Each structure stands twice: as C-alpha cells, then as structure tokens.
Structure 1
Amino acid sequence: MTVESLPVERTLVAQDWRSWRRLQFSSRLPSLGARASRSMEDRNKVYKELGLFSLRKKIEDIVVRAETIAPTALELEQARQIKQEEMVRRYNLWDDPDKSSEILLTLGDSNDTVCFLKELKYQAEEVKLVTQLAEMDAINYWLFKQAYNTSVDISNQLSRYEMTKLLTGPYDKEGACIMIQSAPGSKESEIWAEKLMHMYLLWSKKQGFPGRITEKYSAKSGIRFVTVEFEWQFAYGYLSGERGIHKLIKGFNRDSIPCQIGMACVDVIPLFLVSTPEIPVEDKDIEVSTLLSCGENEHLVYRMERAASILHVPTGIRVQCSGERSHFANKIKALKRLKAKLLVLADQQEVSDITKISRDGIFDLWQEETRRYMFHPYKLVHDVKTNTQLPDLVSVLDGGLEPVLQAHVRHRHTRDS
C-alpha cells in the first residue's frame, strides 16, 4: 500500500463507518425512520401515531378508574334504592304529606343516581371497545380521539359523583345565590367584580346549568353589585367556600408589597329549590325600606323605587332584592334571602334557633380573604383557605374552577369529619 493511497482509503472507511452508524440508529427507532422522500401526509400520520401512545394511556387510566369505582358505587346505590322502595311500601303516604314528599324526593334521587351509574358503566365499556377497534384499524386516530373525549367526560362525571358524596351539609344539595360587591371607590375593583361574575357564569355553563343574573348595578368601569342565581342541585355545596374577599394583584413594588389591587366581596346563600324551611322572623325584628336611588338614569330610579331592602335588627344583617316587578315581590324574595342567610349563620354557630345567633359571632366577609389572582410578575391563583395554587390563571377566569372548588369541599369534609 502506497503512501499516496492512505488518505483515500481512510476516507472510504470513514464513509462506511458513518453509514453503519446511521443504519444502527435507524434500526433502534423504526417508527422514526421516515425518510426525507416521504410525503408530508406520511409524516403527519407518523406523528399522529406517536401521539396516540400517551392518549391511549390516559384513556386506559380513566377506564380503570371507572371500572374500579362505578360497580361498587352502583351496588351501594341499588341497596339504598331498595330500602327507599320498601319504606314507600310500608309508609302511608296520605298520613303525613310533608314526610311523604321527603321520602319520594329521596327515592327519586336514588333512582337518578342508579341510572347515572349504569350509564357510566356502559360508557366505560363503550370507550374500551372503541379503543380496541381503533387499534385493529391500523391505529385509527379519529376513533382514538372519540374515545378520549368520551373518557374525559366519564372522568368529570366520576369526579362530580365523588364530590356529591362529600357534600353532606344541611343545605349542600340546594341551589345557590351568589352576590358580588366591588370595593367602594375603586374603578379597578368594579372591573374586577364584573370579571368574577363572568367567571362564575362560565363555570356554571360548563357544568351544563347556566346561571341567571337577577339584579345588577353597573358602574362606569364595571359593576358595583350583582346577584346571580344557580338553580341546580349541589350548587350551594360547591360554591359555599367562595365567601370572602377575592383579590386581584397586578404587580408588586420594590418592597414586595402588592400594588394595583382590585377587590370584590363574594357572599353565597342557599337557594332552596323546593321550599324554604319555615323559620319564625318577627315583624318587630325587621325594617323594610326602599333602596336609595343613584340617579344615573330613569330606568335605574324606577328599579330602585320598587326594590326592597330588609334589615334584621337583632343580627344587623341586611339583604336586598330589586329583580322582581314590584316592591311587594321584591320584599317577599328579600325575606327568603334573609331566612336563608339566618339558617346559614345558625349552622355556622351550631345553634338550633335563629334567635340564639350571636351578633358578635358573625364574621365580616370584608375581613376574610379567600383567593388571590396574581397577574404579574407571574400568573398564579392562590386559594388562601386551602393553600391551593394553580398556575393556569386564564383557565380559572374562563370558568375552570373545579380544582379550587373541589379543594374547598375536601377541606370542609376533613374539618367536619
């Protein structure tokens, strides 16, 4: 071998070695061995197939969860349903109409829960079958997507069912009336109060039950006060932890003190879906008046004149209503809200009679911080009561309240158990 031929031979050996390394690398990753000559359609297909591995794992996890929880839950609910049916057969429904109504409502709830769990089991089996068909059909992406969407719905329904089992408070099954008031004299707070209103409305819509604005007092920048009613079961149980101050923080100064703050106070009372419990409220204990007009426009003046404001003298609680067509109708609805508020206070103070409510034991909601929504220097939602932190601020404001609401329910259940 001549000296002149060495560089050429070395070059050939190097080329062969690189070819061998490429061959080895491509053999280790056969699914990634798409050549440059493949069409864009083939590449997209490969990428979709690669993404199905994590998708399939998520589907399998949800199906396993459904197969673990649903059969046991269904067995328990069916046993409860049988007991309720036996009680109906033994009890003379004509003797006590109130008791009969309670028994029939409980039986109706049991029947609905049993049907719900049966449907959940069927959906889980269907998802499992669709996943198998998708694999048989050379990994059909669209079938997988259909199975995944259904499995997410199953997961959400399971979580909702688990939460209802924890909502055992005396009024947790009722609807909810939520009242939002902006901090006085702050344009930032008025804008923030309106944002909170939309957050709760979007959350309720995602649950499949839209909320209803019954009264709203607008300001130039946003709203001063708004009342929203949620007329569906367990709304109060979910939302009762929202009471208190919700604080918007747009930044911090050099001393790490929050600046550009907007504040709104949220209060929640049960909205009784069937009938309001009968509690004695003496006429001498209440003062009824009309709200003072703000003088912004004729429509508002008229609405304020027909509005009703009720002060409960022994406790100092004031409620109002302006969404009805007459002063009398507003007075009736405001009285219902007062009774609901008194029932909540009696439950919080663990007294059996509203006359035993201690005025000194009533918390000022403006002194109770519930949640912070931070926009800068980082986006974060910090729930003060449960110490839950969520980095996805936009999702929460768009109605993604489930993590913090569920944290409140679990916290309350742990505290009371």
Structure 2
Amino acid sequence: MASVESVMDLGAKRTEIEQLREQSADPELWNDQDNAQRVTRRLSYLETEVARVEAIRERIDDLPILFELAETESDPEAKSEAQAELAQLRKDIGDLEVRTLLSGPYDQREALVTINSQAGGIDAADWAQMLQRMYLRWAERRGHPTEIYDTSYAEEAGIKSTTFAVKAPFAYGTLRGEHGTHRLVRISPFDNQNRRQTSFAGVDVVPVVEHSDHIDIEESDLRIDVYRASGPGGQGVNTTDSAVRITHVPTGIVVSCQNERSQLQNRATAMSVLQAKLLERKRQEEQAAIDELRGDGSNSWGTQIRNYVLHPYQNVKDVRTNIETGNTSAVLDGEIDNFIDAEIRWLRSQEDTGG
C-alpha cells in the first residue's frame, strides 16, 4: 500500500485540490463554461481519489484490531468478518495499483468513444446499440458524465454508428484497451427461423484534445455538409438542417454531430471530434515509426478483442487476457471493470516489453 501511495503522490494531489478549490470559488471562472466544467470535474475526481486512498489506509490500520478482537472474544463470526474485510482490502488495493499504471501521455484525458456496426446486417446494428448501452451504463455506474454527440440509426433496428464522450479524468487511459472488434454470437431475434447469428461491431477510443495540442487542419481539406438530424427509423427530430458532417479529405476521416440545436454548435463539436481523431492518428503514426526502428512490424493489438456468446452457452471472454465470465447479462449491463483492469495490465506489459 505504501508503494501505491508513493506512486499516486497524495501530497501533490492535495496541493492541486487546494489550487482548484481557489479557482472554483472565483465567480469569474464561469465566464468560460468549458473551462469551469473541466476545473470542477478535475476537482471532484481528485477529491474522490484522495478520499478513496485515505479510506483504504484507515481500513488497513483497523484490520489488526478486528482480528485481535475476534481472537480475544473467540468469536468465529467476527473472525469470518475480519477475513472477508482482508480479502476485500486486497481487491481494493489491486484496483488502486491498476490506476498507477495509467501513466501514458494521454491516459489522464477524457475519452471519445465511437462504435460502428460491422458484418452481420441488422443484428450488427442491434449489437452496436447494445455496446453503446453497455459503455453508457459502465460510465453511469462510476458516476462519469457522458454526452452523445452523434447517432446514426439503422433502418430496421439498432444503430449504424455513434460517438459519445466520457467526461472524466483518465477515461481514455481506462477505456483505450476497449479499442477493437467485439464479436457477438446469439440466436437472432430478427430471424423467424431462430438461427444462430454472428455479428461484429468496432469500438474506437481516442483522447479528447486540449488547448495545448497542436493539430493543423486546413480549411481547404474539409468538406462540410449540413443535414436534418434523424431519429430511430429515419424519423426526423429537427425541423432545420442543423446537423453537421465534416469529412477530412486527406485522411478520409468523417465525423458528425447532431446533438445541439445550433448548426454552429454542432460544427464546433464535430471539429473537436475531428481534432481528437487526427491527434490519435498522429500518435499511432509516431508509434508505428518507433516500432519500425525497433524492428517490430506487427500490431500487438490485433483486431478482435472480445467474444460475447449468448448461445449455445453463456460466456464473455477477452482473447488477449483470457479473462472470462458466464454472467453475460451483468457484462452487457456495464459490469466490465474486470475486463478493463486486465486490459490495462496487459497493455502496460506490452509497452514495457516493446510488444
């Protein structure tokens, strides 16, 4: 626990908390809404982290007393409770250790998540929407604010694609291992012959850009289209052409936003998403150059990262870490922390070994 506390540098966090409290008390702060929200989110995150470590430290200090009382009173029930607390403490300290592994250059950023339906027709579109719900439920369970920027609905059911932000510090570092292809096997609810269907959806996770990031985007490289936002089944949700789609011609990257009423606001949000994707592309190109110098031409991430089997048996298994569970309903309801923690450890081991 002492090594975890040292790596987390509680002293520095407490100093930053005091500075952020001073900023949040300044009435001028809210003249810039975006900056004010960043300050308050960062303050809330740091206060929660410090309180979490302090609470675990108190429980560690209390643990010998629990065992001593159980021994003194020869109380089997009290001893059982003390042993359960010891097991829980080990798990909680392990969770803290995972957090100390998030030391990449962008790990502390908020995250932009894009989900696209792939092979599998209507089932793939439904699967993409199931994944969107899974991540939004995961964020909700952790108290992380989210904002859906764009959703393109499929004609019959589900979605073609969606982009949403997870607005919490370290969201990118936490979720970046989710990047890749997710495979679903089930009896198709859309097949009147009840045949088994395999569907695929791609998840893309990039860090949110900050003012310090320098991404050059030439206006001449952009193709900007405006259109009317639509809901499920092609139903119009806006009476004006306020949705914005931006194509970055040199790279072919396409982003869109339709969550705001104003075309200008949608354009600004779409530009920030484009900047985030270009930043991630730049990071990947730099990493590829390093890998080439190292003589590693392969991509250790692979493509397919997790299998979700709902028929003929129930199982979710990560193909990289071999973490698995038969509680598929809990996973699809956002209980994916075991997978995420294992991914963080796996990614760090890959980076440490140059994989």
1:264 aligns with 2:195: no
- CA 1:115/1:213 → structure 2, altered by over 3 Å: closer, same or farther? same
Matched, 1:244 2:175: no
Distance 2:303 2:10 in 1: 43
Q: Give the TM-score normalised by the residue count of structure 1.
A: 0.62
Aligned-partner SS, 2:237: helix
Note if contact 2:67-2:82 (Cα within 8 Å) is conserved in structure 1: no
Aligned length in residues: 310
| Farther-moved stretch of structure 1 (310-319 vs 114-123) | 114-123
Match of 1:125 in 2: 61
Which residue in the other structure is 1:72 paired with? 3
Q: Does 1:398 align with 2:333?
A: yes
- Which 5+ residue runs of structure 2 have no aligned equivalent? 20-38, 188-194, 289-296
Shift in Å, 1:379: 2.1
User: CA offsets per residue over residues 66-123 of structure 1, 9 Å max, x none?
Assistant: xxx2x233345559749x89xx9xxxxxxxxxxxxxxx99x98999866643332112
Q: Which amino acid is 1:300 matched to? A: V
- Does the 8 A contact of 2:4 with 2:100 survive in 1? no
Pick aligned residue for 1:196 from 131, 135, 146: 131
How large is the Cα RMSD of the aligned pairs?
4.1
Question: Which residue matches 1:300?
Answer: 237
Equivalent residue, structure 2, for 1:328:
264
Partner of 2:247: 311
- Picking from 274, 283, 288, the partner of 2:224 is 288
- Relative contact order, CA 8 A, sep 6+: which one is greater? 2
Residue identity matched to 1:233: P
The answer as to whether partners of 1:191 and 1:223 remain within 8 angstroms in 2 is yes
**1:350 alignment partner, one of 245, 268, 286:** 286
SS at match of 1:378: coil
Larger Rg: 1
- Per-residue CA distance 1:262-319 (angstroms, 9 max, x = gap): 22221212235x646232211111111124766956643547x211111111111111
* Residues 178, 78 of structure 1: alpha-carbon distance in 2 compared, 3 angstrom cutoff: closer
- Residues 371 and 136 of structure 1: CA distance in aligned 2, closer, same or farther (over 3 Å): same
| SS of residue in 2 equivalent to 1:170 | coil
Query: Which amino acid in the other structure matches residue 340 of structure 2?
Result: L
Q: Which residue of 1 aligns with 2:100?
A: 165
For residue 175 of structure 1, report the CA deviation from its aligned partner.
1.3
Seen in structure 2, the aligned counterparts of structure 1 residues 146 and 288 have a Cα distance that, compared at 3 Å, is: farther
Give the 3 Å change call, closer, same or farther, for CA 388–143 of structure 1 in structure 2: closer
For the residues of structure 1 that align with 2:47 and 2:147, how far apart are their CA atoms? 28
TM-score (norm 2): 0.71
Within 5 A, what are the aligned runs for 1:1-80? Answer: 69=1, 71-75=2-6, 77=8
Aligned to 1:412: 347
Structure 1, unmatched stretches of 5+, are: 1-68, 89-103, 252-257, 353-360
Can you list the C-alpha shifts for 1:354-398, whole angstroms capped at 9, x where unaligned?
Answer: xxxxxxx9x9x9x93222111223322232344444444333223
Q: More helix per residue: 1 or 2? A: 1
Q: Any conservation in 1 of the 2:119–2:201 contact (CA below 8 Å)?
A: no
Cα distance, 1:129–1:275 mapped onto 2, change above 3 Å = farther
